[in-house]
Amino acid sequence: MNILAYDLGASSGRALLGRLTGSRIEVEEVHRFANDPVKVGERLQWDILRLYHEIKQGLLKTKHLGVQPQSLAIDSWAVDFGLLGRDGELLGNPYHYRDWHTHGVMESMFQSVPKEYIFERTGIQFLTFNTIYQLAAMKQAGSPLMREADRFLMIPDLLRYFLTGEMLNEFTNVTSTQLYNPLSGDWDWELINRIGIPGSWFGRVADPGTEAGRIRSSIMTDLGIEAIPVLTAAEHDTASAVAAVPALERSFAYLSCGTWSLMGTEVDRPVINEETLRFNFTNEGGVGRSFRLLKNIMGLWIIQELKREWEREGLAYSFTEIVQLAEQAPAFAAFIDPDDELFLHAGDMRSRIRQYCRSTGQSLPDGPGELARCIFESLALKYRYVLELTEKLSNQRFNGLHMVGGGIQNTLLCQWTADSIGKPVWAGPAEGSAVGNLAVQWIAQGVFSDIWEARKVIRESFPVVTYEPSGREAWEEAYGCFRQIAGLAD
Ligand code: ADP
Ligand code: LRH
């Protein structure tokens, strides 16, 4: 029995076929495609129709393999959305969350809607690009979409709607908007009303694994394929990635390591208190109405951007080469706080890293190896800081850290993470989000009884590499330096 998972990441979109052979999961990549945002003037937008086209290409390639999938589901990154008119047509291209239009909007909203009020009601961390601030930015800018819109759909909701004609708002992604109240278990109508957005835009919240229609007959005719049921996945890619963590114990820590690094633990109920607010932790919805108590860390985005910069200069390093260059560069020469706002938007990372180092009185990394080493070491050190906070805020002690996502192919980063946290790292699977997407579909079909059975099978199906900590003394010293430079509080 084959099923199809689409995972739209910032580094690429991919379609993976999953099948169960005995008690093992096998995956086959049928299609990989670019998911580059498009800049028009100053606006950064999704190339949403191209992605829809690529999703159909995935269906065609699946057909050419002679496979009829039992179901399909889509996941992607959180917070972004499209607005639809009364006629069901998409109004404009969805904005990408790294667009500048939200700049300063969160801070100005706090003047009329207090930060504490928003956190008490939503439990969601304050990121300048959350949906709530994107909507407020559009409203402030007098966007005509505010007058014309009738429905709000997040990116996987929207692509699912294109495929099926059915509109549903999926739970895990909905929680990331900062407009959902996990205590009432519904959209926070009071908050939505207070920021002046029509409540009628927001529809029924559907759990991951809900039947959400079937492929439109026009697509079946165009592609010459049979009907395929479409399900909701855990459509926030981080929810899917955490679903795929091959943990055997209920108390575990994870790091979903891709464009972003998402670190935290899974909890039954949101942890909404002064401490989680102070350290800007979040409580995002997960599979089985669990919550992810986690913190965003800027992640491999900075090296992705540097790689693009080098390519423009004619230096086409692969990630493998970048890792080798980092390994050869001098150790602990300079640190950045990867979460400094300097690094959020696209472009010019070399000069921003040097600007950060200059303003903190450090030596300035120069060549590719030095810059890459600075990023990877700083990430490993930030991981220790956030892991210790996770332990404190969840009142747990972890024996090690599960890493999933494409970033685990960076074996140096995995080793340095183990060295920095002083605990083993268990790395795998690399396609965390796609595997979690498949797992939710199998749970919906009754193949797995719940997420814990799925995790057990994932553990048996994908290699998990263990990295034992080493070089503790040097890393301990580096941590002290890093915390001072980054000004990180206890
Ligand atoms: P996303 O889902 O956000 O698109 P992925 O989980 O696919 O991201 O991870 C992509 C990241 O993985 C890249 O930015 C890169 O840093 C890292 N990566 C991918 N391949 C390699 C490799 N061969 N060696 C080292 N790092 C790699
Ligand atoms: C990771 C992710 C993360 C969000 C960000 C926008 O891909 O979904 O969980 O905070 O992208």
* pLDDT score recorded for residue 325: 98
Asked whether residue 45 carries a pLDDT value surpassing 90, the answer given is yes
Ligand that lies nearest to the alpha carbon of residue 130, given by its number in the listed order: 2
* pLDDT score recorded for residue 490: 82
* pLDDT score recorded for residue 433: 98
**Mean pLDDT, residues 90-118 taken together:** 97
Q: Is 238 in the pocket of ligand 2 (CB under 6 A)?
A: yes
Report residues whose beta carbon is within 6 angstroms of any ligand 1 atom.
9-12, 258-259, 300, 303-304, 319-320, 323, 405-407, 409-410
High-pLDDT (> 70) share of the chain, %: 100
**Closest residue by CA, ligand 2 atom 2:** 77
* pLDDT score recorded for residue 270: 98
Residue ranges covered by each domain of the chain: 2-231, 237-428+464-490
What is the DSSP pairing of strand 72-76 with strand 2-8? Answer: parallel
CA 173–ligand 2 middle distance (angstroms): 10
Q: What is the pTM of this model?
A: 0.98
**Mean pLDDT, residues 148-164 taken together:** 98
Instruction: Give the active site residue among 75, 157, 188, 237.
Output: 237
Cα–Cα distance measured from residue 258 to residue 309, given in angstroms and rounded to the nearest whole number = 19
Write down the ipTM of this complex: 0.99
Q: Is 77 in the pocket of ligand 2 (CB under 6 A)?
A: yes
194-198, Cβ contacts within 8 angstroms, sequence gap of 24 or more: 194/113, 195/109, 195/113, 195/132, 195/135, 195/136, 195/139, 196/139, 197/135, 197/139, 198/149
Cα–Cα distance measured from residue 114 to residue 172, given in angstroms and rounded to the nearest whole number = 25
CA 297–ligand 2 middle distance (angstroms): 10
pLDDT band at 392 (very low <50, low <70, confident <90, very high): very high
User: Across the strands, what pairs with 7?
Assistant: 14, 75
Indicate the top mutation candidate among 255, 409, 465 to test ligand 1's pocket, ranked by most ligand atoms within 8 A of CB: 409
Domain 2-231, architecture per CATH: 2-Layer Sandwich (3.30)
CA 5–ligand 2 middle distance (angstroms): 18
Question: For residue range 49-90, what is the model confidence (pLDDT) as tens digits?
Answer: 999 999 999 999 999 999 999 999 999 999 999 999 999 999
Q: Which residues, including other chains, have CB under 8 Å from residue 352's CB and lie 6 or more apart?
A: 342, 343
**Closest residue by CA, ligand 1 atom 7:** 406
46 phi and psi, to 5 degrees? -75, 145
Q: What is the mean pLDDT of the chain?
A: 97
pLDDT band at 3 (very low <50, low <70, confident <90, very high): very high
Specify the higher pLDDT residue, 431 or 490: 431
Give the ligand 2 atom nearest the CA of 260. 1
Ligand that lies nearest to the alpha carbon of residue 300, given by its number in the listed order: 1
Q: Is 260 in the pocket of ligand 2 (CB under 6 A)?
A: yes
Indicate the top mutation candidate among 7, 296, 300 to test ligand 1's pocket, ranked by most ligand atoms within 8 A of CB: 300
**Mean pLDDT, residues 182-196 taken together:** 97
User: Across the strands, what pairs with 297?
Assistant: 261
Indicate the top mutation candidate among 14, 174, 237 to test ligand 2's pocket, ranked by most ligand atoms within 8 A of CB: 237
**Mean pLDDT, residues 287-316 taken together:** 97
Give the ligand 1 atom nearest the CA of 431. 6
* pLDDT score recorded for residue 489: 82
What CATH number belongs to 237-428+464-490? 3.30.420.40
Question: For residue range 336-379, what is the model confidence (pLDDT) as tens digits?
Answer: 999 999 999 998 999 999 999 999 999 999 999 999 999 999 99
Residue 237: active-site member? yes
Asked whether residue 1 carries a pLDDT value surpassing 90, the answer given is no
CA 373–ligand 2 middle distance (angstroms): 24
Ligand that lies nearest to the alpha carbon of residue 98, given by its number in the listed order: 2
CA 217–ligand 2 middle distance (angstroms): 33
CA 375–ligand 1 middle distance (angstroms): 14
CA 80–ligand 2 middle distance (angstroms): 10
21 phi and psi, to 5 degrees? -115, 110
Q: Is 284 in the pocket of ligand 2 (CB under 6 A)?
A: no
CATH topology agreement for domains 2-231 and 237-428+464-490: yes
Cα–Cα distance measured from residue 72 to residue 213, given in angstroms and rounded to the nearest whole number = 11
Question: For residue range 229-246, what is the model confidence (pLDDT) as tens digits?
Answer: 999 999 999 999 999 999
